[in-house]
Amino acid sequence: MKTRWYKDAVFYQIYPRSFKDSNGDGIGDIRGIIEKIDYIKGLGVNAVWLSPVYKSPNDDNGYDISDYRDINPEFGTLDDWKEMVAIMHENGIKIVMDLVVNHSSDEHPWFQESRKSKDNPYRDYYIWRKGVGKKPPNNWSSRFAGSAWKYDELTDEWYLHLFSEKQPDLNWANPAVRREVIDICNYWFELGVDGFRCDVITYISKAEGLPKGKFNPVLRGDEHFVAEPKIHNYLNEINKESWSKYDSMIVGEAAGLKLEDACLLIAEDRNEMDSVIQFETALVDLKMNVFPTKLNLRKFKKIQSAWQNLPEGCWNTLFYENHDQPRSISRYGNADGPYRKELAKMLAVSYMMLRGTPYIYQGQEIGMSNIALKPDEYADIMTKRIFDTVKKYFPPLYPLAVKIMKKVARDNARTPMQWNGLAHAGFSDVSPWFKINPNFGDVNVVIQETNPNSILMFYKKIVEFRKGNEIIINGEYKEYFPNNRSLYVFERSLKQKRYIVICNFKEHSVNLNAIDLHAMNAQLVLSNYPNSTQSFTNGMTLRPYEAVIYYIES
Ligand code: NOJ
């Protein structure tokens, strides 16, 4: 059944709340997406990952689902959704939905039943335990700060929530829960969806007995639920009963996953998932996963190269941004400097030329950047929880927390899409649910659509360049100069044909003498400056954030 179409796909991720508001309530919606199908198609992408649009009380912006089979009224109706999918399909665009089943909302009828009594038929849909005296059953921590357990007076037991208290973890050890997940997947496949992005799928299986986690000031318990071995049985079961019956693409969000365990989840012959969204690259500039540091390019390249060298039969996912990450141009370079455009384009080259399926997150293609929010302007539950916890337990560290969140907060990526320079950035007719980045007058779609040298036009160019290009899709990967602290240089090759990709990650010029492109008769095929060098008899100089792609045939 599987054609593995995703190998030649470029994805566009839509975070619906912030994409386009069609009905003047300040919240993005499905009809807003329909309005923008031509724009999406114009990017050249052929697949969309849609963040959750299901019914939800929005404790975590839709990642807390109260009805897996219906659409949140603020986004529209199931009929709107069907119309959107039909139009996408007519335009050759596949659609992958978010599948959030590590946890549900506490407002889901399953949980409402589950908490009623210890002998309720739904009790075992969730993970309930007795406390230890007045304390929680173990020391695991929520990813949103604090304990991962919430006491419920009604039955004098605690339930596990690895995210917010309103996101109780489902009990995957219960076959009835797995059956529900299978039925949900089949329901959406029958309605036309092409696959799923499985939210924190690496957390679904918890070790027998829920043992205490080893000491860690921030995240405790991971070793007992990240890719715990039973996950493979669970995924095999869903794969057999659902995913493999359709021409699907299943990509798992793999928090905490180590490279050496990745293939167990994605090798084609293991019948689990097709690919994982790994976090090693995204965490490279965070000390202890928390404190932002300057990008160490050597470390960054080492991780990218290791994932590029996954064995045959294991497929990569390529991304810099999503709704959980700060904006890449603010993170990996100087977004406020004179080379902002070159930076954004260089970053595009540095990952779009790799092996795997690339994802572009809405706004990345126009170079949207971080927004400097005041502490009380954040909307994201995670940031709010972190601030509350620091204020309560470590008040002297609060100013530091504010400084850190400015750089890493998820809200940086959740500001409304900047469509034009008019009121509300063309996102909505009214003041939107969340602050718009004040730079929308300069950074917006309309301005860039008419400028052939814009970031947007460059994204279109590189997507087009990639599409159907066998060397980029299937070619070998080889890294040059891994110790160079400024340049990322790699080769993609297939038989006699190859590309050499050179990206300058620095905001100043950098010389490269050790590669004799002249002797190789290399032809420049793409670059982010209007006149990149074709002559390199004495080596070459890369200008600030310059990126060049050369083609060589031997
Ligand atoms: C990962 C999602 O991407 C994130 O936005 C969410 O908060 C957590 N999983 C919990 O569902």
Q: Which atom of ligand 1 is nearest to the CA of 103?
A: 11
Give the pLDDT of residue 536.
Answer: 61
**112-147 pLDDT, tens digit each:** 999 999 999 999 999 999 999 999 999 999 999 999
Ligand 1 atom 8: the closest Cα is on which residue?
63
Ligand 1 lined by 546 (C-beta under 6 Å): no
Of 366-370, 399-403, 509-513, minimum mean pLDDT range: 509-513
Q: Which atom of ligand 1 is nearest to the CA of 60?
A: 7
248/274 Cα distance (integer angstroms): 9
Ligand 1 lined by 199 (C-beta under 6 Å): yes
Ligand 1 centroid–CA 342 distance in Å is 31
467/63 Cα distance (integer angstroms): 32
Of 52-56, 232-236, 327-331, 532-536, minimum mean pLDDT range: 532-536
Ligand 1 centroid–CA 159 distance in Å is 19
For residue 532, name the pLDDT band (cuts at 50, 70, 90).
confident
Ligand 1 centroid–CA 290 distance in Å is 17
The one catalytic residue among 253, 321, 342, 546: 253
Which amino acid is located at 85 in the chain? V
Tokens of 265: 């989840």
**290-331 pLDDT, tens digit each:** 899 999 999 999 999 999 999 999 999 999 999 999 999 999
55/37 Cα distance (integer angstroms): 23
Is 199 annotated in the active site?
Answer: yes
Instruction: List the one residue out of 356, 305, 259, 275 whose CA is nearest residue 96.
Output: 275
Which amino acid is located at 289 in the chain? N
Ligand 1 centroid–CA 261 distance in Å is 21
Ligand 1 lined by 413 (C-beta under 6 Å): no
Ligand 1 lined by 222 (C-beta under 6 Å): no
pLDDT of residue 534 exceeding 70, the answer is no
Instruction: List the one residue out of 423, 402, 427, 401 whose CA is nearest residue 414.
Output: 427
Give the pLDDT of residue 379.
Answer: 98
For residue 217, name the pLDDT band (cuts at 50, 70, 90).
confident
The HSE-up count of residue 478 (CA atoms within 13 Å, CB side) is 10
Tell me the three-class secondary structure of 107-173, residue by residue: CCHHHHHHCCCCCCCCHHHECEECCECCECCCCCECCCCCECEEEECCCCEEEECCCCCCCCEECCC
145/391 Cα distance (integer angstroms): 12
Ligand 1 centroid–CA 317 distance in Å is 17
535/135 Cα distance (integer angstroms): 70
Task: Give mean pLDDT, residues 510-524.
Answer: 84
Ligand 1 atom 11: the closest Cα is on which residue?
63
Contacts of residue 27, Cβ cutoff 8 Å, sequence gap at least 6? 17, 21, 74, 75, 428, 432, 433
101/124 Cα distance (integer angstroms): 15
Q: 424-434 in b/e burial notation, b at 16+ Cβ within 10 A?
A: bbbbbeeebbb
Query: Of all residues in the chain, what percent carry a pLDDT higher than 90?
Result: 94
Ligand 1 atom 6: the closest Cα is on which residue?
63
**83-103 pLDDT, tens digit each:** 999 999 999 999 999 999 999
Residue to probe by mutation, ligand 1, list 53, 104, 200, most atoms within 8 Å of CB = 200
Ligand 1 lined by 200 (C-beta under 6 Å): yes
CA distances for 360 relative to 25, 216, 396, 508, 544, angstroms: 26, 33, 38, 26, 23
Contacts of residue 244, Cβ cutoff 8 Å, sequence gap at least 6? 1, 2, 271
Q: Which atom of ligand 1 is nearest to the CA of 253?
A: 1
Packed helices 297-308 and 259-266: angle between N→C axes, nearest 10 degrees: 30
Task: Give mean pLDDT, residues 18-41.
Answer: 98
CA 280, 284, 287, 292 torsion: positive or negative? negative
Neighbours of 398 (CB within 10 A): 14
Ligand 1 centroid–CA 505 distance in Å is 30
Long-range contacts of 216-222 (CB under 8 A, 24+ apart): 216/141, 218/141, 218/288, 218/289, 218/290, 219/141, 219/143, 219/289, 220/139, 220/140, 220/141, 221/138, 221/139, 221/140, 221/141, 221/148, 222/256
348/360 Cα distance (integer angstroms): 9
User: 416: which DSSP letter?
Assistant: P
Ligand 1 lined by 254 (C-beta under 6 Å): no
CA distances for 297 relative to 198, 285, 350, angstroms: 30, 9, 12
167/173 Cα distance (integer angstroms): 18
> Are the beta carbons of 224 and 169 closer than 8 angstroms?
no
Q: Which atom of ligand 1 is nearest to the CA of 381?
A: 7
Ligand 1 lined by 324 (C-beta under 6 Å): yes
Would you call 529 helix, strand, or coil by DSSP? Answer: coil
> Are the beta carbons of 259 and 280 closer than 8 angstroms?
yes
Give the pLDDT of residue 535.
Answer: 61
Q: Which atom of ligand 1 is nearest to the CA of 100?
A: 11
Pairing type for strands 54-55 and 67-71 reads: antiparallel
Q: Which atom of ligand 1 is nearest to the CA of 255?
A: 1
pTM above 0.75, yes or no: yes
Instruction: List the one residue out of 278, 277, 276, 296 whose CA is nearest residue 286.
Output: 296
Is 253 annotated in the active site?
Answer: yes
pLDDT of residue 261 exceeding 80, the answer is yes
Neighbours of 536 (CB within 10 A): 18
pLDDT of residue 232 exceeding 80, the answer is yes
pLDDT of residue 538 exceeding 70, the answer is no
For residue 537, name the pLDDT band (cuts at 50, 70, 90).
low
Ligand 1 atom 5: the closest Cα is on which residue?
324
Would you call 474 helix, strand, or coil by DSSP? Answer: helix
Give the pLDDT of residue 476.
Answer: 98
Ligand 1 atom 10: the closest Cα is on which residue?
63
pLDDT of residue 515 exceeding 90, the answer is no
Instruction: List the one residue out of 474, 185, 231 whose CA is nearest residue 355.
Output: 474
Q: In order of start, what are the domains of the chain with their CATH numbers?
A: 5-102+175-464 (3.20.20.80), 109-160 (3.90.400.10), 473-553 (2.60.40.1180)
Task: Give mean pLDDT, residues 518-537.
Answer: 81
Ligand 1 lined by 98 (C-beta under 6 Å): no
Instruction: List the one residue out of 34, 30, 35, 32 whose CA is nearest residue 22.
Output: 32
Ligand 1 centroid–CA 95 distance in Å is 19
Task: Give mean pLDDT, residues 427-451.
Answer: 98
Ligand 1 lined by 100 (C-beta under 6 Å): yes
Dihedral through CA 504, CA 510, CA 515, CA 518, nearest 10?
100
Ligand 1 centroid–CA 470 distance in Å is 34
Output the average pLDDT for the chain: 96
Cα 494 to the chain's mean position, in Å?
29
